[in-house]
Structure 1
């Protein structure tokens, strides 16, 4: 078994990058050397006798354990992007506005025969994302540091999917239409409804079809003996606008 691995007990999980030293938890101390002789599905005990399950590091763990530099797109929105665009596992994808690298990582994970090009103009954000990609073992991501409004002028291939999570997204929509394959999709993520409205009308004006504007709400529930009630404290995360070049 090679790192990284996840140690889990109930809702509590820890990402282990090296099988050496110790891990201090609220349930006691774990000797990470013990993991070297164990397999996924085995358990390891803290010095207090509390057991943690050993799990492989997978895409489901990205959102919780990626290092953060910017507010990432939520898994519920990432799932909608995959479903509404019919992501093929051999796609060429452009992700403009890398941030933490969340959307690029998920796209690369489910696009295992394809490639993801991700562009971020802030060097400090790009550095954090690069560390996340390396830890996740994702090798089909090509990272570019720069302003996508200028970087895109050098692209020689057309993309199957373009995702924008960036400022000045409206300015890039004409270029996005130009560098998309016929039948390809553009997805724009925005936290504000005014910006979403501007994107929606710009996409229609440029020539995108089947344009949809919506948000996905995920409501968590807690179940107790006395009854069930909503647990979610944050209802809104962002709006999606999706259109197709046809």
Structure 2
């Protein structure tokens, strides 16, 4: 990764005989082979650019995409809320360009696996290429299929839905989740959030949560620290729930009779 004084990032795989062309000038890649990370290279017009190892955040921001990706600010939180760890098996419905897929694959490790469903071949091809570029494709099985036909796995640890109508597939998700398993849903609008929550409330789910993450970057120049002029105002809503065997519901009239302190916090 090459970063200049204006913090613009350039990601390149180093190959002999190639050049990196930037707005700060040109760097011959042969000249930097063998240099340690943290070194400042010079372009042909004398501008400095630091050579740094990219983080997954850097790579995701530079991924080639066919769809709008889930932002890094949400990706890490999703991984946390799904309880992801080494050895887990996870289903993702809606591969998009593979941003979330890459985080899931990284978290489940070599002994885990991700099953990524996508019905549009163009999106699937892009996700496969991006995961291959990251060296994580062997941890993912990509499946071109409409999940209305059902999932092909069973007893998985977590399911994440990033679809335009996720409420229609909550039953499918519950079928393949083990008891206590994690569900995550991403929706862009309040209307969709309400629809999903209503379906979850009346299904075999518990510990419902709906959240929105807003990240505000700051300018870090010591003499004029202040909020950045630009920020991501809204990316989407995150909904989480746990899979349970729900056979008994509290009826509306029973709920009305409860004292406030005895009321359930969610479905």
* TM-score between the two structures when normalised by the length of structure 2: 0.83
Say if 2:109 is the partner of 1:86: no
Q: Tell me, yes or no, if the aligned pair for 1:222 and 1:229 is still in contact at 8 Å.
A: yes
CA contact (8 A) 1:62 1:102 kept: no
Q: Is the 8 A contact 1:90 1:111 kept in 2?
A: yes
Larger radius of gyration: 2
SS in 2 for 1:189: strand
Select between 219-228 and 115-124 the one with higher mean Cα deviation: 219-228
The aligned residue for residue 3 of structure 1 is: none
Where 1:36 maps in the other structure, the secondary structure is coil
From 9, 30, 34, give the equivalent of 2:4. Answer: 9
Number of residue-to-residue matches in the alignment? 239
CA contact (8 A) 1:97 1:120 kept: yes
**Farther-moved stretch of structure 1 (206-215 vs 57-66):** 57-66
User: In structure 1, what is the equivalent of residue 227 of structure 2?
Assistant: 229
C-alpha RMSD of the superposition: 1.8
The answer to whether residue 140 in structure 2 is matched with residue 141 in structure 1 is: yes
Aligned position for 1:216: 213
Give 1:119's aligned residue: 117
CA shift, 1:223, in A, is 5.2
Q: Distance in 1 between matches of 2:148 and 2:94?
A: 11
Shift of 1:130: 1.1
* Partner Cα distance (1:53, 1:228) in 2: 25
Q: Secondary structure at the match of 1:24?
A: strand
Unaligned runs of at least 5 residues, structure 1 = 1-5
Q: Which stretch shifts more, 140-149 or 170-179?
A: 140-149
Number of the residue aligned with 2:256: none
* TM alignment of 1:173-192, pairs within 5 A: 173-192=170-189
Judge conservation of contact 1:119–1:145 (CA < 8 Å) in 2: yes
> Which residue number corresponds to residue 51 of structure 1?
48
- Partners of 2:102 and 2:62 lie apart in 1 by 12
Unaligned runs of 5+ in 2: 245-267
Larger strand proportion of the pair: 1
**Residue 124 of structure 2 corresponds to residue 129 of structure 1:** no
Q: Distance in 2 between matches of 1:26 and 1:111?
A: 39
TM-score by length of 1: 0.90
